[in-house]
Structure formats: structure tokens, C-alpha cells
Amino acid sequence: MKKYTILIAAVAAIGGLLFGFDTAVIAGTLPALRSFFKLDDAAIGLVVAAASIGCIPGALFAGNLANRYGRKLMMLVTAVLYVIAAVGSGIAGSFEQLVAYRFIGGLAIGMASTLAPIYISEVAPAEFRGRLGMSQQLAIVLGILLAFISNYVIDSAGWSFLSPENTWRYMLAAAVIPSVIFFVLLLLVPESPRWLIQRERHEHAHRIFGRIYEPSKAKDELESVKADLASSGHGLRFMEIFSAKYRKVVLIGVVFAAIAQLTGINIIFYYAPLIFEKTHVGGSVLFQTVLTGVVNLIFTIVAFWLIDRLGRKKLLLIGSAVMGICMMVVGVLFYTDKLDSYLVLAAIFVYIAAFACTWGAVLWVYVAEIFSNKIRGSATSFAIFGNWTANAIVSWTFPIMLNGLGAPVTFFTYGVINFLMIVFVAKYVFETKGVALEKVEALYERL
């Protein structure tokens, strides 16, 4: 695989870094926001969920916009929205303004979570697609870790211009820096060659394939994509993804993407300080939160080695089982009030590790590779719409569940959901390891 391919995939994945940063940075600001704006549990849930709610239309429309205007242009729009959201959140003068700018950030996250996997899958050679697709997840976990580190540094720096009343503003505004870097680097990457072929710009696409593959392979790839599009047709209305030919795989994609959120992973990342405040293990809450990001990063790197060796399906089955057990263990520890034990932290860290090298690794790869060229933009967009809808529900309801139902019932609920996911994966998820994008349709036609 050429270094050029790795570089352009890495630039696209920076959208994922901002996705991780913007979704996780809110965790360190919640105590200050609760005090500053006098927020109750429902309002705290809305502040957190506002980004997820914004992700819903962002993800839903990104695919169609990318089909019309190109992957690259829409990623540039995403970078601009990230900048607006970061600046606006930092200067917000009211709860309503903060929610509005968080919503704009959510639009950017939803778009990035759709566009980056599409772009990466379309420039990646089949044999390396899993690992290159993983660059999106690696960027997300780096963004999460950077958010936690940024929050910790800003909170403990002791700089003269910081105070308890404005520290949260600097935490939220810090995303401006990577957002601007993302925009500048995007100017240097090419358009997706598969999108160019859809627009009948074959010479341009061939030049880009020539930089991704060896010269002889570039010609073969161009002809393969042209033949696939010629047999399936170029045009697609959004509702066609629900036609008899595609309905089943689209439903599999949207359910798969949605239940990835029902693992409960983001209740850990969005609300880690609130969870750790309820435990009695020593140490700084924000520092413990940083450790969750470190574990997430380490095991995402492990997933690079696993995803194209074990395959997608095996990883998902193993991950669901381990995460279900960990959630049950955390629920039992809360139920028995054994919160002074480091077993609480151990269970949470094992849970994060299991997610990072299974569901976290597979999600962004799988939703972009199970759809054929004709429907990839719209179908991936719809699947990620399902992901963010589930994310919004989880992030909004978790603080209400935690304080209303109690921690044991809340964690037991997510434990049961993880076990049920094993059934779905076993029955409906089909293996795509090493399969060319132009051959995927034949797999789901056999379901």
C-alpha cells in the first residue's frame, strides 16, 4: 500500500478526531455548566445530547450532498461548521445559545461520521480497507483522549485568566485549533475517484487511482468501477435504497449502526466524571477520565492488527459478550455498594478495551463497505442517521436513568442489551474481510 493512500485517508479521518473531541469535551464541563446555568438533570442531558441531535440531520443528508457535490467539498463544509461550533460554544451567553452551538457542532459530527468512512472506503485497496477504515476510529479515540487531556490541563493549569466561571469556555473553544488544521489539510487531498467516475470524469479518476495503485492495477480498478456502475445505473433517488433489492441490507446497516450506540459506550465517555463521582476510588475524577481515553486508544491500536485477520463478525461476537459481562459487574458493584474497590475501574477499563477493539473498530468500516457503489452514499448516510438517533436517546436519557432508576438497574439494562446484540450479529452480520467493494452486493443477495 502506498504512503499516499495512507496520507489521504489520514486527512479524511481528522474529521473523526474532531468528532471524538467535540463529543467528549463536554464531559469535563458538566459540573461547571450545572452551576453556571443552574441546570437540572434533564437540562444537562439536553446539553450533552444537543450534539447528538444535530448529528441526526447531519448524517441523514450528508450522503446525498456528497453524491451531488462530492466528498471533498462536503468535508470542507464540515470543517467550517466545526470552527463555528467551537467559537460559539466558547462565547455562549445563555443555555439556549450553548445548546444551539452544540447542535451546529453535531451537524458537523454527523456529516464527518458519514463522509470520512465513505471517502476512506472508496480510496482504500480491498486488502487494506479494514485497517484504513480503522483510521477513522483511531482518529475518534485520539480526539476523545485529546479532549480529556485538554480538559485536565485547562482545569489544573492555574493560568491567571482562568477562573471557575470561565474554564468551561476554554475547554469547549479548544476545538478551534484542530478544526482549522483539518480545513487546511483537506485542500491538499483529491476527490474520491469512485465519485469522479460516477460523474464520468474518468481521466481524473484514473490519475488518482494511479497514485493509489500501481499503473496496471489503476487501469483495472477504473474499468471495474465503470463496469459496476454501468450494470447498476448511475442515478439513485434516496427512496430507492428501500426497494426490494436493497431493503434488507439497508435495514441490517441501520440496525447495526444503531445498536453500536446501545452498547452504552458513550455513557462512559460523555458522563465519565459523573460516574466516577459516585465511586469512592481515590484520585482526580478528570485524571481517571483521561485514563479511559488512554485505554480506548491502546486497544484501538490493537484492533488494527485484528480486524483484517479475525474478520468483522468474530470481533463483534467477542466484544458483545465481554461488554455485557462488564456492564453486569459494574451493576453488581453499585448494587452491593462495593464502590471503594478498584474493581469498578477495572470493569470500566475492560469494557472500554472490549469496545475499542471490536464494535468501535468495526462500526465505521462496516457501514461504509456493506453497500454497493450505487447506494453507498445514501445508504451509509441513513445507517449513520440510525447511529446518531440511538446516540441522542442514550445520551439524553442516561442522567435521568442514573438518578431515577439508580445505577444498578441502568448498568444491568445495558448489560442485557449487549448480550442481545450477540443474537443479531450471529444471524444478520455477514463477513466482508478482503472483499472488493464491487463484490459486496453478491454477499447480501445470498442472505
- Which pLDDT does position 73 carry in this prediction? 93
Q: CA 119 to CA 374: how far, in whole Å?
A: 14
For the chain, what is the mean pLDDT?
83
- Residue 20: its H or E element: helix 3-24
Q: Which one is predicted more confidently, 186 or 446?
A: 186
- Please report where in the chains the cell 481515553 appears, as a residue: 293
Mean pLDDT over 348-368 rounds to 86
Which residues, 6+ apart, have CB-to-CB distance to 445 below 8 Å?
Answer: none
- Report the number of secondary-structure helices (H) and strands (E) in the chain: 20, 0
Q: CA 392 to CA 64: how far, in whole Å?
A: 22
Q: Is residue 392 within 8 Å of residue 56, measured between CB atoms?
A: yes
- Which pLDDT does position 62 carry in this prediction? 85
Q: Which one is predicted more confidently, 211 or 230?
A: 211
Dump pLDDT digits (tens) for 53-88: 888 888 888 888 888 899 999 999 999 999 999 999
Is the pTM higher than 0.75? The answer reads no
Q: CA 58 to CA 2: how far, in whole Å?
A: 32
- Which pLDDT does position 281 carry in this prediction? 57
Q: Is residue 397 within 8 Å of residue 45, measured between CB atoms?
A: yes
Q: Assign 183 a pLDDT band (cuts: 50, 70, 90).
A: very high
Q: How many residues does the chain have?
A: 447
Q: Indicate if the pLDDT at residue 225 is higher than 70.
A: yes
What one-letter code names the amino acid at 241? I
Dump pLDDT digits (tens) for 280-337: 555 566 666 777 778 888 888 888 788 777 888 899 999 999 999 999 998 898 888 8
- Which pLDDT does position 422 carry in this prediction? 94
Q: CA 142 to CA 293: how far, in whole Å?
A: 8
Cβ neighbour number for residue 338 with a 10 Å cutoff: 13
- Please report where in the chains the cell 472500554 appears, as a residue: 352
Point out the least confidently predicted range of 84-88, 134-138, 204-208, 247-251: 134-138
Among 62, 61, 364, 68, which Cα is nearest to 195's? Answer: 68
Among 208, 205, 246, which Cα is nearest to 225's? Answer: 205
Identify the CATH assignment for 3-189+235-444 out of 3.30.9.10, 1.20.1250.20, 3.40.50.1100, 3.90.110.10.
1.20.1250.20
Mean pLDDT over 217-221 rounds to 80
Among 327, 210, 216, which Cα is nearest to 264's? Answer: 327
Q: CA 342 to CA 287: how far, in whole Å?
A: 15
Mean pLDDT over 411-416 rounds to 92
Burial class (CB in 10 A: 0-12, 13-18, 19+), 34: middle
Q: CA 377 to CA 154: how far, in whole Å?
A: 39
Mean pLDDT over 381-399 rounds to 82
Q: DSSP 3-state assignment of 157?
A: coil
Q: Which of the 8 DSSP states describes residue 439?
A: G
- Which pLDDT does position 318 carry in this prediction? 94
Q: Is residue 381 within 8 Å of residue 63, measured between CB atoms?
A: yes
Q: Which one is predicted more confidently, 271 or 242?
A: 242
Dump pLDDT digits (tens) for 418-442: 999 999 999 888 877 777 766 766 6
Q: CA 260 to CA 210: how far, in whole Å?
A: 36
Q: CA 255 to CA 278: how far, in whole Å?
A: 33
Q: Which of the 8 DSSP states describes residue 282?
A: -
Share of the chain above pLDDT 70, in %: 90
